[in-house]
Amino acid sequence: MSANGTATLYRMVLPEHTCPFGVRAKQMLEQAGFAVDDRILQSRDEVDAFKAEHGVATTPQIFIDGERIGGSDELERYLEQA
């Protein structure tokens, strides 16, 4: 697949835990040809503030062309339809 532009990925990477769904989302985006703006949330406070700001319950969250796609499952469906 050719380059699709830039996707912004917000994912949790804490000292004691790297979210596997965030890793999976990054891999899917790269395989689909996106340049990934990888935004790492490095503390529980950053994760909680991000979720509150965007009104979401989980991370990762993926944005393509400024539009929120959702988490890794939603990304997978989005890429299947592209």
How far is the C-alpha of 49 from the C-alpha of 34, rounded, in Å?
A: 26
| pLDDT, one tens digit for every residue, the chain (82 residues) | 445 799 999 999 999 999 999 999 999 999 999 999 999 999 999 999 999 999 999 999 999 988 999 999 999 999 999 7
* Number of domains forming the structure of the chain: 1
**pLDDT given for residue 4 in this prediction:** 74
Q: For residue 29, what are the domain limits?
A: 5-81
Residue partners of 1: CB distance under 8 A and separation at least 6: 31, 32, 33
Output the pTM of the full model.
Answer: 0.91
CATH number, residue 64: 3.40.30.10
